Amino acid sequence: MIYLDYCATTPMSETSLTIYTKAAKEFFGNPSSLHDFGTTANQLLDQSRIEISNIINGEKEGVYFTSGGSESNYLSLLSIARGNKHRGNHIITTNIEHPSVLNTLELLKEEGFTISFIPVNSYGEVELDRLAQEITGETFLVSIGHANSELGTIQNMEAIGQLLKDRDILFHSDCVQTFGKLPIDVKAFNLSAVTMSAHKIYGPKGVGAVYLSPKLSWKATVPNSSQEKGFRQGTGNVPGIVAFTSAALEVFEGQDFELQRFQKLQKLFLDSIDPAKIILEGHPTKRLAHHLCLRVKGIEGQYVMLECNRRGIAISTGSACKVGQTSPPRSMTETGKTLDEAREMIRISFGKETTEEHIRYTVNVLNEIIAQF
């Protein structure tokens, strides 16, 4: 079976798995305990905070570990909003954000916050003038993901961050799809908050992180929580966190090499298809190198996915967090596609095991599927 759904999840790396097992066996102490077992576990967490913060050019004091990307978005948005009511009640986002962002903002709307959704262009990009037009005197927070998980389009983070810094507005970004794939610099991007996940970078599932600028005011979602400096409840997942950190360091070290390799694989795929029958969606160049958002013209994506699976290829029809929903991907309709066109979407995403042979075989399979119609 050829796995081409790395944006949904990745297998744990051998290094991450080895470290997870070692930590689970030898460093099982509760990091909140005051005895030596607890102290050792807490020291591992502190070292992990240093390593994660270094990758994004932040400070270790700003790193908080969570159960994954969705909880990271939930906790960070609630904590920031509730801790900054003195700054205003208006939040700006887009309709193509991850469900964990949109669902959390719906909750904040019930609490009295005003949520505005700025449109994206046909590529899925946030245009600065549209963002600037939406800002009011009550705007205190903007949440825009670094790259969309379905379209693959990368946002202009430096430009957005500079605009928000000039207006003294907080900037939250879901970086789950870009952490370990693209450079993330919280200072260059003027980011107030970043969310990350382990299982997208060959780490374990059920582990993630939030970076909150140490200058940021925030309010705990549950009063009197003692773990993660009050940011969340629950005993720290020491084996998962150190395995996450190990995976992050490993992908960070090979980031430039893999980026170039993915670019070659992406070019090979696009050069091998008939663009009249298989259409690339999202931005043609400002996109994730390991990601392809495609429409097989006239054929529903669900059918293409099932036929690929029957022929030994695993792809997806969009975000794994939306499985079971009957509506087509919102990112497609937000970029101007009809409902029928949106239903044609498939997503192919590469990983460290993806080869040129995998790409050629996949193109051949897609051509076979198209030839049936």
Among 359, 355, 339, 335, which residue's Cα sits nearest to residue 125? 335
Q: Could you give the dihedral angle defined by the CA atoms of residues 269, 153, 354 and 299, in that order, rounded to the nearest 10 degrees?
A: -60
Contact partners, residue 289, CB within 8 Å, separation at least 6: 181, 259, 262, 263, 266
Q: Which of 7, 175, 308, 321 is catalytic?
A: 321
Q: 213-240 burial, b if ≥16 CB within 10 A, otherwise e?
A: beebbbebbeeeeebbebbbeeebbbbb
Q: Counting Cβ atoms within 10 Å, is residue 371 exposed (0-12), middle (13-18) or buried (19+)?
A: exposed
Strands 170-174 and 139-143, sheet pairing? parallel
Residue type, 110: E
Strand partners, 3: 314
- Residue 321 annotated in active site: yes
The DSSP 8-state label assigned to residue 85 in this structure reads G
Enzyme catalytic residues: 321
